[in-house]
């Protein structure tokens, strides 16, 4: 035993020394692994974060999700339904070929044709009726009706190289099937590296599923040169193992350090914690529909959550400051609206609400529930930062005003299935708004469910308010930025006044690095390692 | 022997199909994988399209029928998450787990048997008492905690070994292995030790008990009386006779390490099959979970078969019985 041990020790000392000398390699520990290198395969946070290193989009989103030029230098509308994009000239793909409109059109053509895509990028192109190349560097897009979120949609998918994906001829985009493209490569071609050719600051070096993703610097990048020569991403899904890897010096930066370790990581002079506001709101959604409601008892079959006074009482019963301080350890900002203040459509005229237990009790009595009722609150316990603990705190605060609340916590796979089958009277969940700002949660969480109009996709409380629907629909058809944002603010006000949904707080996202490094936090919580820099 | 083999294989096919059926319907009851895979921004139409694309809009019995049709043709389904044939995905992780398990077993045997035999031969020695007390400790430490402690000691405080991952690999017959490179070996050592500690304790106790029992038997006394060297008595007469229970137990343990090294693989981010299983269960990736458990049953059957064959090598009496049957 002793022999083996000392041999291993000696060997490791010899081997680790030269690695440390190479300072331009960045090693990162990711909490969840992208499911593919193919940027169009799976519309999922880790995949979208990874693709930003290699595949760029037509327009980009900065760290606060504001639209910025990327592969398109400028754009404008000639009328509310026609958009013209001027593409950046001289942009080279990793294989040296020139980026032109053809590659964008090819990407749009491939999106509906990615085999077995578990969550398609289709929703980002389906509002475009026609897309055509005016010349190699000018793209014209028309939409069936005025659509203000086109830029946000086009910022959401990375552009692949047509030639590297095996298509050499011209591309004609047709909404119901492009012409002239014989077949589309499967995601496997990107995973193997063969078709993984983008325009981004990094190229794919090596990909071993479950083990590592190696990115190497693109020396011919059109923009600011990449800081790191090489980036090594390792999936380390276990929280403890990820922190240990950072402490051991195996990795330079980790995402999602566990909240209980943050103080230690801050205090340790070998490590550093970076945090930034995110667009993710944690909320409680009510059952606005069924009567009796599955998780409510003590009301003779009535659903008290349909009464605005009861919903208002619940919100007044919650002490949000206490949750953000004591449970979230400062990793949260109290919320009353569905997006944080730095995003589009936030209504600055709505003040934060103060918790008021007496008023909550009075409202409950007025609504006919002086003794409260029994409620089961559903929550995932492995999806959001401290999700089940937040639910416990909420339950205690509600119980204090008479709504005897029991928490039903479960793993996310069970939770989301049950939620989508409407098994909860009230549930805790989160929503990370895209660059569209307030339009994103209004459209998905509180607009009435409507398959044809694409509204209410995650409105599992089945809230329905024609007044709000009208405003959301109008906003989604108003291209003028100011008018669009005004409508969003109005929509937010209605949602708040009618307590359609009960926001608790906005998450603050932490990253932990070794001392001397920092990262620019992104509001979409994605880890984009191109922004990691030495602190001095 | 042939009839015996056929019977064993028949049993295993039965077990595999029962297992597949239970897991298939069990996962269906847990939830719908699309609810996790889909991007919440997608509208209802896109959600339905994704469900249809994965064939999950069909009634469960129809889905099961399609699955059975595939199995008969040797196709265990395609991963919902990775869009790769489930079996191929699992087999791509097999080498990592295989070398981890093999290395751990090696440690268990080369450390456990000598220590256990020493404790059995010299029960009164304080060293033996130390070995036996240590083995109880090795038994009772929770694997998960022990792994984190190993990381804290070796990787964080002493910084002599990496905290996890597989390190550099080299190819042997086109398959990547870690034990062929120095960097890989360093990465392999801690997770293998984490698995091995329990097995070492197990082997120590088995060989100690076996040695204590066997060394009192008449044939050992007789061998002593004949003046055979202690080395020959211990190395041949005692060792061979205590090996049968050890081989049985190690066989079963090997199976469970291969199939369920989940905890160690998670703590050390070792990219093996166990980690794939736990990730797939989390995402309700049904084809992978079903294929994995079918493969597991198959592995256990094969290992048990091999164990039986090894018996007959170790014990001639079993060989004769086999012939008669």
Distance CA A439, CA A445 (A): 10
Partner residues linked to A527 by β-bridges? none
pLDDT in tens, A334-353: 999 999 999 999 999 999 99
The C-alpha atoms of residue A245 and residue A236 are separated, in whole angstroms, by 9
Among B30, B82, B188, B203, most A C-beta atoms within 10 A, so best to mutate, is: B82
Task: State residue A160 phi and psi, 5-degree precision.
Answer: -100, 160
Q: What is the ipTM of this complex?
A: 0.83
Q: What local confidence, expressed as pLDDT, does residue B318 receive?
A: 65
> For the residues B39-53, what does the mean pLDDT come to?
81
Contact of A208 with chain B, judged by CB distance below 8 Å, is answered with: yes
For residue A265, what pLDDT is reported? 95
Average pLDDT over all residues of chain B: 86
Statement: residue A285 has pLDDT above 50 = yes
pLDDT at B164: 86
Closest CA to A409 of A442, A386, A430: A386
pLDDT (tens digit per residue) in B295-317: 888 888 888 878 777 777 777 77
Residue A20 has pLDDT above 70, yes or no: no
Name the residue among A183, A89, A200, A179 with its Cα closest to residue A131: A179
pLDDT mean over A225-251:
93
- pLDDT (average), residues B41-57: 82
Please list every residue in chain B whose beta carbon sits closer than 8 Å to the beta carbon of residue A187.
Answer: 83
Check pLDDT > 50 for residue A11.
Answer: no
Nearest CA to A16 out of B144, B161, B48 is that of B161
**Nearest CB to B93 within list A12, A187, A210:** A210
- Average pLDDT rounded to a whole number, residues B271-286: 88
Say which of A236, A413, A419 has its CB closest to residue B164. Answer: A236
Of B93, B189, B284, the CB nearest to A413: B284
Name which of A118, A414, A444 is nearest B80 (Cβ-Cβ).
A118
Task: Assign B319 a pLDDT band (cuts: 50, 70, 90).
Answer: low
| Banded model confidence at residue B178, pLDDT cuts 50, 70, 90 | confident
pLDDT band at A8 (very low <50, low <70, confident <90, very high): very low
pLDDT digits (tens, 9 = 90+) for A57-105: 999 999 999 999 999 999 999 999 999 999 999 999 999 999 999 999 9
Measured between alpha carbons, how far is B171 from B182 in angstroms, rounded to an integer?
14
| Contact residues, chain A, for B43 at CB < 8 Å | 123, 444, 451, 454-455, 457
Residue A442 has pLDDT above 90, yes or no: yes
Please list, residue by residue across A442-459, b when 16 or more beta carbons sit within 10 angstroms of its beta carbon and e when fewer do.
bbbbbbbbbeebbbbbbb
- B185: closest chain A residue by CA: A8
pLDDT value at position A517?
Answer: 95
Contact at CB, B43 and A235, closer than 8 angstroms:
no
Min CA distance, B306 vs chain A (Å)? 29
* Tokens standing for residue B231: 């080395």
pLDDT of residue B180: 85
Residues paired with residue B175 on neighbouring β-strands, in sequence order: B172
Q: In A280-386, which ranges are continuous DSSP H helix?
A: 308-317, 320-322, 357-366
Tokens encoding A142: 């028309």
Q: What is the per-residue pLDDT for B1?
A: 66
Per-residue model confidence (pLDDT) at position A17: 38
Instruction: Tell me the CA distances in angstroms from B190 to B187, B258, B265, B318, one per residue in order.
Output: 7, 17, 11, 38
Residue pair A377/A394 in contact (Cβ under 8 Å)? The answer is: yes
Pairing type for strands A373-380 and A403-410 reads parallel
| pLDDT computed for residue B311 by the predictor | 76
What is the per-residue pLDDT across B239-251, written as a single tens digit (0 to 9) for each?
888 888 898 888 8
CA distance A72 to A134: 14
Q: Pick A389 or A451 by higher pLDDT.
A: A389
Which tokens belong to A238? Answer: 């276990």
Query: Into which CATH architecture does domain B91-324 fall?
Result: Orthogonal Bundle (1.10)
> Does residue B194 contact residue A240 with C-beta atoms inside 8 Å?
no
How close A319 comes to chain B (CA, Å)? 28
CATH 1.10.3720.10 in chain B, residues? 91-324
Give the model's pLDDT for residue B44.
79
| Structure-token match 């401290």, residue found | A386
Cβ contact, residue pair A12, B161, below 8 Å: yes
From residue A463, alpha-carbon distances to A347, A350, A455, A493 in Å are: 21, 21, 12, 15
Q: State mean pLDDT over B273-289.
A: 88
Q: Where does the pLDDT of residue A18 fall: very low under 50, low under 70, confident under 90, or very high at 90 and above?
A: very low
Chain A 100-139, CB below 8 Å of chain B: which residues?
115-120, 122-123
Of the CA atoms within 13 Å of residue A201, those in its CB half-sphere come to: 17
Confidence of residue B320 (pLDDT cuts 50, 70, 90): low
Q: What is the pLDDT of residue A15?
A: 41
Least confident of A182-186, A342-346, B43-47, B277-281: B43-47
Do residues B81 and A149 lie in contact, with contact meaning Cβ atoms separated by under 8 Å?
Answer: no
| Chain A from 287 to 346: CB within 8 A of any B CB | none
Mean pLDDT along residues A464-481: 95
Cross-chain Cβ contact A413/B93 below 8 Å: no
With pLDDT > 70 as the criterion, what percentage of chain B qualifies?
97
Q: How far apart are CA B258 and CA A497, in angstroms?
A: 57
Residue A84: in which H helix or E strand, if any?
A: strand A82-87
Q: Are A303 and A291 in contact (CB under 8 A)?
A: yes
What average pLDDT does range A104-113 have in this prediction? 95
Q: Does domain A38-200 have CATH number 3.90.76.10?
A: yes
Tell me which residue in A120, A416, A452 faces B50 most closely, judged by beta carbons: A120
A314, A503 Cβ separation under 8 angstroms: no
**Size of the A and B interface in Cβ pairs below 8 Å:** 187
Contact: A431, B43; criterion CB under 8 Å: no
Nearest to B201 by CA among B262, B141, B248, B267: B141
A514 vs B156: CA distance, rounded Å: 13
pLDDT of res. B56: 85
Inter-chain CB proximity A250 and B165 less than 8 Å? yes
Looking at residue A1, its pLDDT comes to 38
Q: Shortest Cα distance from B1 to chain A (angstroms)?
A: 41
Give B224's Cβ-side CA count (13 Å radius). 8
pLDDT tens digit sequence for A290-310: 999 999 999 999 999 999 999
Assign A29 to helix, strand or coil: strand
pLDDT at B297: 83
Q: Which of B42, B152, B185 sits opposite A244 (nearest CB)?
A: B152
Name the token pair of B192: 């293998």
Q: Which of residues 211-230 of A touch B (CB under 8 A)?
A: 211-212
Contact A119 B42 (CB under 8 A): yes
Contacts of A91 (CB under 8 A, 6+ apart): A71, A98, A99, A199, A222
From chain A, pick out residues whose CB is under 8 angstroms from the CB of B196: none
Q: Which CATH architecture has domain A277-508?
A: Roll (3.10)
Tens of pLDDT along A357-374?
999 999 999 999 999 999
- Strands A403-410 and A67-69, bridge-based pairing: unpaired
With 80 as the cut, is the pLDDT of residue A16 above it? no
Domain ranges of chain A: 38-200, 277-508
* pLDDT in the model for residue A404: 97
Q: Average pLDDT, whole number, for chain A?
A: 92
Sign of the four-CA dihedral B248, B254, B257, B258: negative
Q: Find the closest chain A residue to B183 by CA distance.
A: A15
* B266/A411 touch (CB, cutoff 8 Å), yes or no: no
Confidence (pLDDT) at B310 = 78
Please tell me the predicted confidence (pLDDT) of residue B113. Answer: 93
Query: Is B45 in Cβ contact with A454 (below 8 Å)?
Result: yes
Quote the pLDDT of residue A23: 54
């Amino acid at each position: 035993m002793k022999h083996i041990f000392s041999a291993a020790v000696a060997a490791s000392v010899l081997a680790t020394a030269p690695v440390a000398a190479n300072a331009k390699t960045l090693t990162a520990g990711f909490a969840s692994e992208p499911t593919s290198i193919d940027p169009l395969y799976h519309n999922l946070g880790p995949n979208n974060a990874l693709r930003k290193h290699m595949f760029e989009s037509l327009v980009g989103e900065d760290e606060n999700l504001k639209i910025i030029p990327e592969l398109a230098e400028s754009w404008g509308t000639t009328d509310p339904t026609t958009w013209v994009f001027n593409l950046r000239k001289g942009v080279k793909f990793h294989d040296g070929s020139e980026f032109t409109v053809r590659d964008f059109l090819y990407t749009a053509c491939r999106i509906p044709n990615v085999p077995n895509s578990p969550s398609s990028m289709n929703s980002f192109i389906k509002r475009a009726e026609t897309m055509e190349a005016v010349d190699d560097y000018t793209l014209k897009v028309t939409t069936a009706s005025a659509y203000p979120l086109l830029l946000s949609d086009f910022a959401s998918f990375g552009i692949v190289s047509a030639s590297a994906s095996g298509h050499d001829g011209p591309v004609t985009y047709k909404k119901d099937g492009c012409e002239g493209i014989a077949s589309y490569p499967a995601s496997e071609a990107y995973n193997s590296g063969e078709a993984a050719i983008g325009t981004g600051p990094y190229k794919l070096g090596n990909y071993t599923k479950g083990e590592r993703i190696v990115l190497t610097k693109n020396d011919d990048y059109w923009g600011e040169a990449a800081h790191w020569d090489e980036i090594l991403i390792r999936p380390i899904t276990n929280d403890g193992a990820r922190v240990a890897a950072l402490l051991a010096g195996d990795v330079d930066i980790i995402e999602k350090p566990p909240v209980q370790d943050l103080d230690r990581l801050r205090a340790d002079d070998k490590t550093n914690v970076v945090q930034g506001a995110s667009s993710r709101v944690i909320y409680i959604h009510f059952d606005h529909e069924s009567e009796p409601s599955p998780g409510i008892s003590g009301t003779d079959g009535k659903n008290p959550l349909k009464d605005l006074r009861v919903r208002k009482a619940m919100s007044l019963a919650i002490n949000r400051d206490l949750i953000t301080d004591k449970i979230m350890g400062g990793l949260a900002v109290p919320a009353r609206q569905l997006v944080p203040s730095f995003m589009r459509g936030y209504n600055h005229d709505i003040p934060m609400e103060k918790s008021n237990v007496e008023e909550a009790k009075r409202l409950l009595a007025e609504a006919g529930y002086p003794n409260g009722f029994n409620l089961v609150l559903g929550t995932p316990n492995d999806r959001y930062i401290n999700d089940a603990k937040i639910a416990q705190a909420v339950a205690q605060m509600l119980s204090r005003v008479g709504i005897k609340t029991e928490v039903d916590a479960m793993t996310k796979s069970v939770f989301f299935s049950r939620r989508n089958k409407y098994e909860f009277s009230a549930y805790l969940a989160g929503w990370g708004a895209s660059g569209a700002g307030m339009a994103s949660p209004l459209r998905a969480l509180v607009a009435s469910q409507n398959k044809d109009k694409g509204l209410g996709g995650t409105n599992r409380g089945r809230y329905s308010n024609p007044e709000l629907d009208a405003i959301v629909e109008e906003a989604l058809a108003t291209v003028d930025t100011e008018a669009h944002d005004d409508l969003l603010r109005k929509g937010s006000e209605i949602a708040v006044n009618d307590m359609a949904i009960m926001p608790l707080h906005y998450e603050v996202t932490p990253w932990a690095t070794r001392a001397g490094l920092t990262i620019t936090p992104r509001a979409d919580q994605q880890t984009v390692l191109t922004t990691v820099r030495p602190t001095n | 022997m042939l009839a015996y083999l056929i019977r064993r294989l028949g049993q295993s096919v039965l077990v595999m199909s029962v297992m597949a059926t239970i897991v298939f319907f069990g996962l269906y009851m847990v939830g719908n994988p699309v609810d996790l895979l889909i991007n919440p921004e997608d509208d209802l139409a896109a959600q339905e399209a994704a469900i249809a694309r994965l064939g999950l809009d069909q009634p469960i019995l129809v889905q099961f029928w399609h699955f059975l049709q595939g199995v008969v043709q040797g196709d265990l389904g395609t991963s919902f998450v990775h869009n790769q044939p489930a079996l191929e995905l699992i087999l791509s992780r097999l080498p990592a787990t295989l070398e981890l398990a093999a290395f751990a077993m090696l440690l268990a045997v080369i450390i456990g048997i000598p220590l256990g035999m020493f404790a059995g031969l010299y029960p009164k020695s304080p060293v033996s008492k130390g070995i036996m007390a240590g083995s109880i400790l090795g038994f009772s430490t929770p694997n998960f905690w022990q792994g984190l402690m190993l990381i804290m000691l070796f990787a964080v405080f002493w910084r002599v070994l990496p905290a996890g991952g597989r390190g550099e690999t080299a190819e042997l017959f086109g398959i990547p292995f870690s034990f062929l490179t120095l960097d890989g070996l360093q990465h392999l050592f801690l997770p293998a030790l984490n698995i091995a500690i329990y097995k070492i304790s197990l082997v120590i106790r088995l060989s100690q008990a076996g040695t204590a029992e066997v060394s009192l038997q008449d044939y050992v006394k007789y061998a002593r009386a004949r003046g055979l060297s202690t080395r020959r008595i211990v190395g041949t007469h005692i060792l061979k006779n205590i090996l049968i229970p050890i081989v049985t137990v190690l066989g079963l343990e090997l199976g469970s390490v291969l199939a369920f090294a989940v905890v160690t693989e998670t703590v050390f981010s070792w990219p093996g099959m166990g980690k794939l299983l736990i990730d797939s269960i989390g995402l309700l990736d049904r084809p992978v979970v079903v294929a994995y458990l079918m493969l597991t049953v198959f592995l256990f059957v094969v290992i048990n078969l091999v164990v039986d064959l090894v018996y007959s090598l170790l014990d001639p009496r079993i060989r004769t019985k086999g012939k008669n049957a």
